[in-house]
Amino acid sequence: MNDGAVLHVRGRVLVGPQDVRDELWVVDGRVSFTRPPTAGDVRTVTGWVLPGLVDAHCHVGLDAHGAVDAETSEKQALTDRDAGTLLIRDAGSAADTRWIDEREDLPRIIRAGRHIARTRRYIRNYAHEIEPGDLAAYVRAEARCGDGWVKLVGDWIDRDRGDLAACWPGDALTEAIAAAHEEGARVTAHCFSAESLPDLLAAGIDCVEHATGLTEELIPVFAERGVAIVPTLVNIGTFPDLAAGGEAKFPAWAAHMRRLHERRYDTVGAAHDAGIPVFVGTDAGGSLAHGLVADEVAELVKAGLSPAEALSAASWGAREWLGRPGLEEGAPADFVVYEQDPRADVRVLADPRLVVLRGRPVG
User: Position 348: which residue type?
Assistant: V
Nearest to 61 by CA among 27, 94, 87: 94
- Going from the N-terminus, what domains does the chain have, and what CATH number goes with each? 6-50+326-362 (2.30.40.10), 53-322 (3.20.20.140)
What is the reported pLDDT for 2? 44
User: Position 79: which residue type?
Assistant: T
Cβ neighbors of 49 (< 8 A, separation 6 or more) are 9, 11, 12, 13, 14, 24, 327, 335, 336, 337, 338
Block mean pLDDT (10 aa), the chain, length 363: 74 95 95 85 94 98 96 98 98 96 97 97 96 98 96 97 98 98 98 98 98 98 98 98 96 98 98 98 95 98 98 98 97 98 96 97 89
What is the reported pLDDT for 42? 87
Cα gap 168→132, rounded to integer Å: 6
DSSP 3-state of 230:
strand
| DSSP element (H, E) containing 51 | strand 42-51
pTM attached to this predicted model:
0.96
